[in-house]
Structures are given as structure tokens and as C-alpha cells.
Amino acid sequence: MSSSTPQKLREKQKSQFDRKAKASKIAVGDKVLVKILAFDGKHKIADRFEKEVYQVIDQPRPEIPVYRIRSTDGTVKTLHRNHLLPVNIADTEEATDKETTEGRPKPRAEAFGYVHTRA
């Protein structure tokens, strides 16, 4: 009886995890960042991903999460999904445009819609 209890708990925990676990899909043509796997010296607060954006060009076997990616200079790499971070370039460009055009923050009265008039 004691040997079946851990198995039941394991199955219950797996079903709970699988209910909420979601893997983001990477498709051909998507932009991704590549994880830095080799560091020199201390790297406690170093960037985790390269600055260069790559484009997914192929997934050799659909049943395996391995992708071929190409850099802007034409270099082709084959990497596992765990080493890739999908990025949406349009979202990041819009966010930077919004930050630069907003200017100063609104005063509290304007933010809540109060208008002060002087007579």
C-alpha cells in the first residue's frame, strides 16, 4: 500500500502541472534571441541572451524541438528550443516609440479628468 501512494501523488501532481503548462510555439520566420551558454569570468548579473536577433528558418523534424536559425550576417545555427527566446520585434518598437513620444507625465488633476478654470 505504501508503494502505490507515491505513484498516485506523482500522477496527481503531473495532471495539475499539465493543466496549466503552456509551451510557446516557434514557427518558421519567427524572430528569436539565443541564450549565452559560455561565460568568461564572473557572470552573476550578465545578460542571459545575445543582443543579436535571429530568424527561424527551419525545423528539421517536427517531433523534436530543434530549430535552424539564421543571423543577420547569414550564419546558420541549429539549436534546441530551450536555448531560444521568442521575441516580437513589432511590440518592442512600439513600446520604445510610445516611451519617447509621451513626454512628461500628466499632472494628477488632468489624469483624473479634473479641469481647473480661473475666473
Domain boundaries, the chain: 25-111
φ/ψ region of 23 (left if φ > 0, alpha if ψ in -120 to 50, else beta) reads beta
Task: Tell me the whole-structure pTM to 2 decimals.
Answer: 0.58
**What values do phi and psi take at 30, rounded to 5?**
-70, 150
pLDDT in tens, 64-111: 999 999 999 999 999 999 999 999 866 545 555 555 545 566 666 666
- C-alpha separations of 67 from 16, 43, 63, 70 in Å: 29, 27, 11, 10
pLDDT at residue 45, as a whole number: 85
Cβ proximity of 83 and 35 under 8 Å: yes
- Answer with the residue of higher pLDDT: 32 or 119: 32
Query: Which CATH fold topology does 25-111 show?
Result: SH3 type barrels. (2.30.30)
